[in-house]
A and B are shown apart, each in its own frame.
Chain A
Amino acid sequence: MQERLRVGFVTDGGRIDDGSFNQYAYEGTMRAAQEHGLAVELIETRSPAEYESNIRLAIERGCNLVVTVGSTTGTTVERMAARYPKVHFVLVDYEPIQESRNVTGLVFAEDQAGFLAGALAGLMTEQNVVGFVGGVDVPPVLKFQRGFEHGVAFTNRRAKVLTVYTNSFTDEQKGREAAGELVNQGADVLFAAAGGCGSAAIRAAAARGVWVIGSDQDHWETTFRKGEEPGADRLLTSAVKRVDRAVYEALSLAVAGKLHGGSLRFDLHNDGIGLAPYHAADVSVPSEVRGKVLEVTEGLGTGRIRTRVGPKGEDLERRLLARVTAWNWQSVAMIFLAIFTALVVGALFIAAFDPDVWAAFGEGIGAGLVAAGASIVKAYGAFFEGAFGNPARIFTGLQIWLTTGDSTRLLRAIYPITEGLRLATPYIFAGLAVALGFRCGLFNIGAEGQYFIGGLASVYVGYAVKGLPWFIHLPLALAAGMLGGALWASIAGFLKARTGAHEVINTIMLNYISYRLADYLLQVGGPMARPGDSRPVSPEILPTAYLPQFFPNDLSIRLNTGLLLALLAVWFVYWLLFKTTVGFEIRAVGANPRAARTAGISVARNIVLAMALSGGLAGLAGAHDILGVLHFMPNAFFSGYGFDSIALALLGKSHPVGVLLAALLFGFLRAGAQRMQGVAHVPIDIISILQALIIIFIAAPEIIRFIYRIRAPKETAEMVFTRGWGRV
């Protein structure tokens, strides 16, 4: 602040002697003015309607720094600050939202003040019931309340806190009623943070003979007029915000040219808050109570004790709890029930297709049932061992490895797990691809084709580009796979955006084109065929393009670093969808394209973009299988991933983490099924039946609700999967 300061003080609607923020802010202003020789222009606002014009008036009169109370008017002032960049605004009790250089908010640690009041209340209560009267649940009041609750709990575990909000800072009648109600319920210490309404509350409670604690300023001076009002002897103390000191500090900084935009925080550490003197209650507060309060004050000041209240008054523990419970537990439970039910039904199929079971039934019902049970146990036993390995063998393998350093046995034992993870990897990519499309209202049924094109592109770069070090060759091959899938899918996106042609039809058609394209490229003598080979396959890719194996010393374990890439993709899609403006647009277009367009979002651009991203992910699935597993491309590359991925997106509710879990499930299902076929001779197709059953039960939750008698939850926002025909 280079020029001389001229300070305008504008009240927020209260009078200058309101015994509250306006008065104390003014006192702080005047103290700074006297000390530093500043000119002060005072304007009292009589009605809220005049407020803006009063600030303008102060500026017209030449003020270049405006001090005002911002609890209710902060947003208005911030708007004006943008219009008057040369004027600095100091807002009491308000945290600026925008980052502007000329707005400084003065914020107080109400949670600490409340905590102190609570600690004292907890020590003074005899009935173990204390009361809190709040005005409106704005952050400062919430911070008082939560701090108070935690303070009470800190000194007196058994005490109960009763809370009433009056929804007013001015209505004295409501304040008196709230106080009466709390006292009737047994509260013998009452803390109020509700402006004039709160003053009335503590006056009424004091008249009933209970201890009272005021807030914001020392109520001995105001509510009880220096002790002259009846009931003054029941005022324990007040949880004070030193508004005068804060304003004085801010102005002193301004004089020194050091007042910046943002907020200045006032807490115990810099004496910005604290407890007022005990005044007449001094004789009634036992010395051990004083000692304890001092101890708490010191603890809060040094940070040894925390109030556990967030900056906007949120209860940090409760918030964590709320985050956890915000999970829709019922829908999680539904998924597990669906899987369980599918396994049960699948068991019936297993028994029904086992000739031994039929033979046993021929000998009698009992024998039949026993045989059926044995068949199911054998099949599912093999299944789980195939999916997760044999715990005993893993344990011995681990022992051998730890004692001798020979990992062969361990690696053999964990082979099933690694195989499940390897099978899950392309599922993750492809599931994410479809889920991302769903989020934009697009039904990308062409993940299969994009997988093909991704495979073709990466295999080409893998064998045709020579002489590169692996750290260039491998990323290049991956990028080629991704780009291939992305371009392939964006054809359908472009057609949808331009002509309204439905992406379901176009992606199916593109699938066929991609199969035939691969036929042509890989046929014997074709452009991408392996020279001199009688099979329609591509050449082997160079080892520099291999995705590195996790366990290079046991190459039968096919798990490769593609899994890490897939996990990275999960994180990326989550971040993109929920944390970026790009994702906001994609989700808005998916949920309501008309509203998105009205809000200025380009629907066409987002459709093409979402389709390209989706195709890129599907292309990565193909690249993974080429670069990490096969190392060449056979003609019959058809995998079924493309269609399973739709099920994955549905199962994972189009959420990246959900897709990850669903992909792991499918990966382990497949791994288990391989062993089940080998050991129990159950056809591998049973796994298709299990997958289908799971999907049916997820897609038609009414079946599960009916079986397990679960009541439908209250309506929740509907998930959008896809939209109909036509130009958007």
Chain B
Amino acid sequence: MPPVLELRGITKSFPGVLANDHINLTLEEGEVHALLGENGAGKTTLMNILYGLYSPDEGEIFVRGRRVEIRGPGDAIALGIGMVHQHFMLVPVLTVTENVMLGVESIKNGVFLDRAAAARRIREISRQYGLHVDPDALVKTLPVGVQQRVEIIKLLYRQADILILDEPTAVLTPQEVEELFKVIRSLAAQGKSVIFITHKLKEVMAIADRITVLRNGRVVGTTTPSQTTEEQLASMMVGREVLLRVNKKPATPGETVLEVENLEVLDDRGNPAVRGVSFEVRAGEVLGIAGVQGNGQTELVQALTGLRHPLAGRVRILGTEVTGAPPRHILERGVAHVPEDRQQDGLVLSFPVADNLVLNTYYLPPFARAGTLQQEVIFTVAEQRAREFDIRTPSILTPVANLSGGNQQKVIVAREFSRPIRLLIASQPTRGLDVGSIEYIHQRIIAKRDEGCAVLLVSPELDEVMSLSDRIAVMYEGRIMDILPADQATREEIGLLMAGVKRNR
């Protein structure tokens, strides 16, 4: 029997870039095939070709042994190819059923939407593949993990049997990832074929039947989880040896830099998000805050950086009270902030790299004198920072929007780490980044710690918190469940605390 899908010699170039260079790939029925590669390795380009969004310069595509031309998503869907994009394509104010029906509405009596029939089919699909979802719920009320299930149901409703999942775990909590994996296994067991695009090694090892690694637009190799290790995959991806664990010396904590006392913060809707949190961070140590996303970490960081007014409690930095102070006042105390959402909060995407590198220091000498910007200085410094922090950009005048995610994050890191800082507040500093960039940013954070900087690290990625932190605080429903020394904490114990369970020691 021919493979469900076969790509032969797919080549696609953009001006200046060979995005795909003679790529061969086969997908068998009932297989989970992981496509692994760093950002910019050509994964997304390849999938967009398969989905008909780009046409290849060279190469052929075979579906079930038959040569096909895919001229648009319509062709792809007709061939049974469906794709779940990284950013969901759902209408928030419609129900699950309405979203699923959109574009393939079932009609009764010639005019009316037959919601009931569609809902029935959705329930069937849900049951068959373990995709639990309420067809009548409004999409905007659903957690991200469930919205993703709706996207998958949309594909199955359209009778897709080749499912492309583009970075499906980037937005999920660890529990949701587990749920998704169950679904994928059930899909594969019932004969669906899945292409799973990711750059996360652990996930590949857990879910894939076969793994194809891309680098610089070429296939580096195809392997299976039993024949390889995470280290091998990482070096295939990056093209060199990669440190998966952070090497660091024991911390030597000094004076207290950040003191938080009984802090209470409300969220946007006026509900308590942080409920009486107290902790301190000392110079030369990393305090990690673990916890499933949405347990008050975002609001905590906003309160500490002056972006959200706390309801009660105190924040002191180096002994000075800064509770409720404006952001600039806090930044000027020597606080660096790597925000959770780099595109929304960290960068002005339409501004050039150079301007983003001085986004919070543009008004200080030497960048400004008597209110006028010193552009030559800004450009010179930007060129140096770009070199020092290895920011890959055609020019420092390129809008930062045109950079890859990893390089955008490096712009933020370069900006924040080049100021004289005493406290670093890093919120999900490696979210959505590839292995090489993660390694780099982790090393930079530890180097800051060793320089005597206090570091507050907030991340839902348990691995990250555990490998970087000296002490780990676990947040659950706005409270800190416990603060543990990192060398004594176990994954299991932290996992329980993240779920709100506190054991007596």
Seen from chain A, the residues whose Cβ lies within 8 Å of a Cβ on chain B are 74-75, 79, 82, 95, 97-99, 138, 312, 579-582, 584, 587-588, 591-592, 594-602, 714, 716-720
B307 within 8 A of A: yes
- Cβ-closest chain A residue relative to B388: A75
Q: Contacts A99-B366, A595-B345, A720-B350 given: A600-B326 contact, CB under 8 Å?
A: yes
B345 touches A579 (CB 8 A): no
Which residues on A sit within 8 Å (CB–CB) of B387?
A: 138
CB distance from A576 to the nearest CB of B (A): 10
- List, sorted by A's number, 19 A–B pairs whose CB atoms are closer than 8 Å: A74-B384, A98-B365, A98-B366, A581-B372, A584-B355, A587-B351, A588-B348, A591-B350, A592-B344, A592-B349, A594-B344, A595-B347, A595-B359, A596-B359, A598-B327, A599-B331, A599-B360, A600-B327, A717-B350
A138–B401 Cα distance when bound, in Å, is: 25
B377 within 8 A of A: yes
A598 touches B350 (CB 8 A): no
CB distance from A185 to the nearest CB of B (A): 22
CB distance from A531 to the nearest CB of B (A): 47
A714–B17 Cα distance when bound, in Å, is: 14
B330-364 CB mask vs A (1 if < 8 Å, else 0) is: 01100001010000111111110001000110110
A714–B15 Cα distance when bound, in Å, is: 10
B371 within 8 A of A: yes
A584–B305 Cα distance when bound, in Å, is: 22
Partner of B349, one of A97, A601, A717, A719: A717
A82–B419 Cα distance when bound, in Å, is: 12
Which residues on A sit within 8 Å (CB–CB) of B362?
A: 581, 584
A97 touches B384 (CB 8 A): yes
B373 within 8 A of A: yes
A594–B341 Cα distance when bound, in Å, is: 10
Other than the known A588-B359, A592-B350, what 19 A-B pairs have Cβ atoms closer than 8 Å?
A75-B384, A82-B420, A138-B387, A579-B372, A581-B368, A584-B362, A584-B373, A587-B351, A592-B344, A595-B344, A595-B347, A595-B348, A595-B359, A597-B327, A598-B327, A598-B339, A599-B327, A600-B360, A717-B401
Which residues on A sit within 8 Å (CB–CB) of B350?
A: 591-592, 717-720
- Cβ-closest chain B residue relative to A137: B387
Partner of B351, one of A99, A591, A598: A591
Which residues on B sit within 8 Å (CB–CB) of A598?
A: 305, 307, 327, 337, 339, 345-346
A579 touches B373 (CB 8 A): yes
Q: Which 10 A-B pairs have the closest CB atoms?
A: A600-B328, A717-B350, A599-B360, A717-B399, A599-B359, A592-B348, A600-B327, A598-B345, A581-B363, A591-B348
Which residues on B sit within 8 Å (CB–CB) of A581?
A: 362-363, 368, 371-373
Which residues on A sit within 8 Å (CB–CB) of B384?
A: 74-75, 97
Partner of A592, one of B307, B347, B375: B347
- Cβ-closest chain A residue relative to B329: A600
- Cβ-closest chain B residue relative to A75: B384
A594 touches B345 (CB 8 A): yes
Interface residues of B in 415-474 (CB under 8 A from A): 418, 420
Most buried by B among A95, A594, A714: A594
CB distance from B293 to the nearest CB of A (A): 19
Which residues on A sit within 8 Å (CB–CB) of B366?
A: 97-99
CB distance from A73 to the nearest CB of B (A): 10
B13 within 8 A of A: no
Which residues on A sit within 8 Å (CB–CB) of B348?
A: 588, 591-592, 595-596
A581–B348 Cα distance when bound, in Å, is: 15
Which residues on B sit within 8 Å (CB–CB) of A601?
A: 328
- Cβ-closest chain B residue relative to A99: B366
CB distance from B214 to the nearest CB of A (A): 23
- Cβ-closest chain B residue relative to A100: B366
CB distance from A141 to the nearest CB of B (A): 12
- Cβ-closest chain A residue relative to B384: A75
Which residues on A sit within 8 Å (CB–CB) of B349?
A: 591-592, 717
- Cβ-closest chain B residue relative to A584: B362
A238–B351 Cα distance when bound, in Å, is: 43
B346 touches A580 (CB 8 A): no
B369-409 CB mask vs A (1 if < 8 Å, else 0) is: 00111010100110110011000000000010110000000
A588–B366 Cα distance when bound, in Å, is: 20
Which residues on A sit within 8 Å (CB–CB) of B399?
A: 716-717
B470-493 CB mask vs A (1 if < 8 Å, else 0) is: 000000000000000000000000
Q: Contacts A97-B366, A717-B399 given: A602-B346 contact, CB under 8 Å?
A: no
CB distance from A117 to the nearest CB of B (A): 25
Which residues on A sit within 8 Å (CB–CB) of B328?
A: 600-602
Which residues on A sit within 8 Å (CB–CB) of B372?
A: 579-581
A582 touches B326 (CB 8 A): no
CB distance from B367 to the nearest CB of A (A): 9
A600 touches B331 (CB 8 A): yes
Which residues on B sit within 8 Å (CB–CB) of A591?
A: 348-351
- Cβ-closest chain B residue relative to A600: B328
A717–B401 Cα distance when bound, in Å, is: 7
- Cβ-closest chain B residue relative to A79: B420
A575–B502 Cα distance when bound, in Å, is: 60
Q: Contacts A584-B373, A595-B348, A602-B326 given: A97-B380 contact, CB under 8 Å?
A: yes
Which residues on A sit within 8 Å (CB–CB) of B373?
A: 579-581, 584
A714–B360 Cα distance when bound, in Å, is: 30
CB distance from A575 to the nearest CB of B (A): 8
Which residues on A sit within 8 Å (CB–CB) of B345?
A: 594-595, 598
Which residues on B sit within 8 Å (CB–CB) of A599?
A: 327, 331, 359-360
- Cβ-closest chain B residue relative to A592: B348
Which residues on A sit within 8 Å (CB–CB) of B305?
A: 598
CB distance from A714 to the nearest CB of B (A): 7
Which residues on B sit within 8 Å (CB–CB) of A580?
A: 371-373
A600–B345 Cα distance when bound, in Å, is: 11
A82–B384 Cα distance when bound, in Å, is: 18
CB distance from A480 to the nearest CB of B (A): 26
A585–B365 Cα distance when bound, in Å, is: 16
B56-75 CB mask vs A (1 if < 8 Å, else 0) is: 00000000000000000000
Which residues on B sit within 8 Å (CB–CB) of A600?
A: 326-328, 331-332, 360
A155–B401 Cα distance when bound, in Å, is: 44
A288–B377 Cα distance when bound, in Å, is: 44
Which residues on A sit within 8 Å (CB–CB) of B363?
A: 581, 584
A575–B401 Cα distance when bound, in Å, is: 25
CB distance from A581 to the nearest CB of B (A): 5
B303-322 CB mask vs A (1 if < 8 Å, else 0) is: 00101000000000000000
A615–B383 Cα distance when bound, in Å, is: 38
A314–B360 Cα distance when bound, in Å, is: 28
- Cβ-closest chain B residue relative to A575: B372
A595 touches B381 (CB 8 A): no
Which residues on A sit within 8 Å (CB–CB) of B307?
A: 597-598
Which residues on A sit within 8 Å (CB–CB) of B355?
A: 584
A719–B350 Cα distance when bound, in Å, is: 8
Which residues on A sit within 8 Å (CB–CB) of B375?
A: 579
Most buried by B among A591, A592, A597, A601: A592
CB distance from A580 to the nearest CB of B (A): 5
Most buried by B among A599, A601, A716, A719: A599
A525–B381 Cα distance when bound, in Å, is: 65
CB distance from A58 to the nearest CB of B (A): 19
Which residues on B sit within 8 Å (CB–CB) of A602?
A: 326, 328
CB distance from B192 to the nearest CB of A (A): 34
A597–B337 Cα distance when bound, in Å, is: 12
A312–B328 Cα distance when bound, in Å, is: 33
Interface residues of B in 61-103 (CB under 8 A from A): none
- Cβ-closest chain A residue relative to B380: A97
Which residues on B sit within 8 Å (CB–CB) of A312?
A: 380, 383
CB distance from A82 to the nearest CB of B (A): 8
Which residues on A sit within 8 Å (CB–CB) of B327?
A: 597-600
CB distance from A653 to the nearest CB of B (A): 13
- Cβ-closest chain A residue relative to B15: A714
A510–B398 Cα distance when bound, in Å, is: 40
Which residues on B sit within 8 Å (CB–CB) of A587?
A: 351
A591–B343 Cα distance when bound, in Å, is: 12
